[in-house]
């Protein structure tokens, strides 16, 4: 082997030894300072609740070196790596602490946009999902309930999927329910899809034509100051066995808030002909039609005045505000009595007379003499029935004026139109009815009419007696047509 080859082998051997050489490093920990050997030197500092821990040492193995030396400084730890002998001997705790990232005092921690979006949208998404699940569950329960209600017979208190006045309950009128012994109907106001048009206004509020499931309904809207009228009417309509063809069909009542004010709703059947007052102003009627209207009003009044005995009985009811504006005309040209906000009830079982808690009185033009001169027996139920009969007589006079008699018909006028102003006061009516003892004018031709001339003995009759008389007249008129 020549000298050149030996030099090459020695050079390779030296390079191998250098490759296997390890670094000397300063090692410090647990209060002692020594030297160690490895391929990397390091110094580290750790901040914990127990204090600051400073450490020096060496690292062996590529994976361990990459794991430690590639770790970036954090708020509680920093590590410094180097690759020369004793290169970590001069590192200090203060110098390593300066590598720790710090947040200036008084400034909030700044999060990334993605983190903020996650914090904000996360709860919103969860609430939205819970809301959707709740709505779906409620709709499912409501649909199942409606299906069960549709199986009820109308006599048991179910009409078109609604619990009617006999067994209902109002979910919104909680305060009223606590003081009332009867329960209201379940008829969510939101199911009245839209209020179409205002069809009437009165002293208690407005009446609108609304729609529910494609059908027209009447929505009587009381203002909050007329809560007692609304409550009394709801209470009367919820009377057991009140439902009758000649009493306005009650569907529901509830409270709602619109335009920052409380509204009290009463939902009933809708009759497009409107009130008898409006109808008579538009249309003159034939004798048979007028008799049918009068008989239907008498029939409804008989049902109100009659007490029904039994386990689920009905008290006797006096209207106290009967007039042509409170009577509706059906499409069959029959009438039904409405507006029971001033009604009085009486039960013979306990001799209880319930006049309600509404201080308002009836319409002055239709007040009976004993009401005007304040001699009415307020503790006697029959006295209130006689008040209804007086008002019914005035309504019959209105119908008779618009009925063809001997080919003649007169324009519509309210009772006492020629004796008192359009809006008479209590004193105006008392003077005409009680002092002067005036009565509505009756034309002479009525006495020559075979129907109009029929009369009865003096004194006020009962509603039942009037009904029977009207039925008898109508029957004789029909027989006369057949013959």
H/E segment holding residue 171: none
Do the beta carbons of residue 440 and residue 394 sit within 8 Å?
yes
Do the beta carbons of residue 82 and residue 88 sit within 8 Å?
yes
Residue 45 C-beta-side C-alpha neighbours within 13 Å: 20
Is 360 one of the annotated binding-site residues? no
Give the separation between CA 387 and CA 344, rounded to whole angstroms. 12
253 bridge partner residues: 266
| Of the candidates 474, 360, 451, 472, the residue with the CA atom closest to the CA atom of residue 404 | 451
Furthest-apart CA atoms within the chain: distance in Å: 165
Cα-Cα end-to-end distance for the chain = 159
58 bridge partner residues: 41
Does residue 153 carry a catalytic annotation? Answer: no
Give the separation between CA 19 and CA 444, rounded to whole angstroms. 142
H/E segment holding residue 286: none
CB atoms within 10 A of CB 81: 17
What is the DSSP code string of 120-143? HHHHHHHHHHHHHHHHHHHHHHHH
Question: Which residue out of 226, 321, 339, 388 is catalytically annotated?
Answer: 321
Annotated binding site: 220
Annotated binding site for ATP: 220
Question: Which positions are annotated as active-site residues?
Answer: 321
């Amino acid at each position: 082997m020549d000298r050149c080859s030996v030099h090459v082998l020695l050079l390779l051997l030296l390079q191998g030894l250098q490759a296997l050489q390890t670094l000397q490093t300063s090692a410090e920990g647990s209060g002692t300072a020594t030297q160690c050997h490895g391929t990397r030197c390091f110094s580290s500092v750790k901040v914990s609740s127990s204090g600051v821990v400073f450490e020096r040492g060496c690292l062996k193995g590529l994976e361990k070196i990459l794991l430690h030396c590639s770790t970036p400084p954090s708020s509680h730890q920093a590590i410094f790596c180097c690759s020369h002998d004793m290169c970590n001997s001069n590192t200090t705790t203060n110098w390593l602490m300066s590598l720790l990232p710090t947040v200036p005092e008084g400034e909030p921690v700044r999060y990334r946009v993605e983190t903020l979006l996650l914090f904000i949208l996360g709860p919103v998404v969860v609430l939205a999902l819970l809301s959707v699940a709740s709505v779906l569950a409620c709709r499912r329960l409501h649909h199942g309930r409606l299906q069960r209600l549709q199986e009820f017979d109308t006599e048991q208190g179910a009409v078109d999927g609604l619990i009617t006045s006999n067994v209902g309950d109002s979910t919104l009128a909680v305060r009223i329910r606590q003081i009332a012994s009867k329960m209201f109907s379940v008829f969510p106001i939101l199911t009245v899809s839209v209020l179409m048009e205002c069809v009437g206004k009165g002293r208690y509020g407005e009446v609108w034509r609304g729609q529910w499931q494609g059908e027209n309904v009447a929505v009587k809207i009381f203002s909050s100051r007329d809560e007692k009228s609304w409550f009394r009417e709801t209470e009367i309509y919820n009377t057991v066995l009140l439902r009758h063809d000649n009493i306005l069909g009650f569907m529901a009542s509830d409270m709602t808030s619109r335009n920052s004010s409380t509204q009290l709703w009463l939902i009933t059947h809708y009759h497009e002909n409107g009130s008898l007052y409006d109808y008579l102003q538009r249309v003159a009627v034939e004798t048979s039609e007028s008799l049918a209207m009068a008989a239907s009003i008498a029939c409804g009044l008989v049902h109100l005045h009659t007490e029904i005995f039994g386990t689920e009985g009905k008290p006797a009811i006096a209207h106290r505000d009967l007039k042509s504006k409170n009577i509706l005309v059906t499409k069959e040209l029959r009438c039904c009595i409405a507006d029971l906000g001033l009604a009085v009830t009486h039960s013979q079982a306990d001799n209880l007379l319930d006049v309600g808690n509404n201080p308002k009185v009836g319409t002055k033009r239709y007040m009976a003499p004993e009401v005007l001169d304040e001699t009415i027996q307020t503790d006697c139920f029959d006295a209130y029935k006689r008040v209804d009969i007086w008002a019914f007589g005035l309504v019959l006079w209105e119908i008779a004026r618009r009925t063809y008699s001997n080919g003649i018909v007169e324009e519509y006028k309210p009772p006492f139109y020629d004796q008192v102003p359009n809006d008479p006061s209590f004193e105006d009516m008392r003077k005409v009815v009680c002092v002067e003892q005036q009565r509505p004018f009756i034309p002479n031709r009525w006495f020559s009419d075979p129907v109009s001339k029929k009369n009865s003995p003096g004194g006020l009759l009962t509603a039942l007696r009037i009904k029977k008389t009207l039925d008898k007249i109508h029957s004789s008129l029909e027989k006369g047509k057949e013959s």
